Amino acid sequence: MSETIAYMEDYLDRFYQMKDIFLEHRVTKRTRTNIDEYGRELRHHRAQMSERVAPSKRHRNMDADREEEIALRMVMI
């Protein structure tokens, strides 16, 4: 039992030594704002494009755009 507690204390000490990495990679308000702005622009663009496209192609485009938006969010976050 004391060996387990020693491991836990060791890992806790390591966490406190390295916790600053979480601050370095956090999502800031500026990043969130940029993502939201890009999403609005993309939705506006989709709406304009979908008016001129056949329904079957519209769904394929929407799926591709959604995947692109998800990928962008992953990169920016």
Q: pTM of the predicted model, to two decimals?
A: 0.42
- The full DSSP string for 19-45 is THHHHHTPPPHHHHHHHHHHHHHHHHH
Domain ranges of the chain: 2-76
Burial 3-39 (b: 16+ CB within 10 A, else e): eeeeeeeeeeeeeeeeeeeeeeeeeeeeeeeebeeee
Per-residue pLDDT of the chain (77 residues; tens, 9 = 90+): 889 999 999 999 999 999 888 877 777 888 888 888 888 888 788 777 767 777 777 778 778 878 887 887 777 65
